[in-house]
Amino acid sequence: MDTEAREAAGAGDEWADVAPDAARRLVRAAVEAFAERGYHATTTRDIAGRAGMSPAALYIHYRTKEELLYRISGIGHEKALAIMGEAAAADGSAAERLAAAVRTFVRWHAEHHTTARVIQYELQALGPEHYAEITALRRRTDRLLRQIIQDGADSGEFRADDVPGTTLAALSLCVDVARWFTADGRRTPDEVGVLYAGLVLRMVGAGAE
């Protein structure tokens, strides 16, 4: 699916907040290039070319290739944190909040699998300060999910023997959707989300089955 088809399908434009238009085109081009060839094999010239711009035009918006990766990673991680925050803050039982968190988190990783792959696999390419900033966002996301699972364990709704370990596994399961998901596969992003919400509820020992 091209970008327009995806937007029509409801996935939304993940880069809608990047302005001006030229900066947004560069972000899209960088994600594609990093996904295809890897961060280190991609030059700013490649990215500018894909965006139909000159290297000089790229430098108006981003001083370095790393700055582009940082922008992409920041937007992706902020979105992941927002999804988790919304689920954590919602009304309802721990099971309801956990199911909503997994479902929306998985859906995002399936719909934006190219971006999610770049973000996950190129984390080490960030400069030290940017890396520290991004890992702080990741820790906040982790903590939100852990708190939902801890809430369920404390109230007796869940029987999770190892809350940090179960949280780690649940997040890993969701994130890895970006690796294997393809738009032409058998399941839609939402179908994977529903399946995974059910499996994670089982992992935490929710309810009597």
Written as six digits, the tokens of 182 are 């393809």
Written as six digits, the tokens of 36 are 């295809």
User: By CB under 8 A, is residue 137 in contact with a second copy?
Assistant: no
Give the residue, chosen from 53, 137, 183, 195, that forms a contact with a second copy under the rule CB under 8 A. 195
Amino acid found at 40 = H
Contact characters 48-87, a second copy, x per CB under 8 A: ----------------------------------------
Per CB under 8 A, contacts with a second copy among 162-191 are 162, 165-166, 168-169, 172-173, 175-177, 179-180, 187
- CA dihedral (119, 120, 122, 125) positive or negative: positive
Q: Are 40 and 23 in contact (CB under 8 A)?
A: no
- CA dihedral (126, 11, 82, 51) positive or negative: positive
Residue closer to a second copy, measured from CB, 15 or 158: 158
Which of the 8 DSSP states describes residue 124?
A: G
Q: Binding residues for a second copy, per CB under 8 A? A: 37-41, 120-121, 159, 161-162, 165-166, 168-169, 172-173, 175-177, 179-180, 187, 195-196, 198-199, 202-203, 205, 209
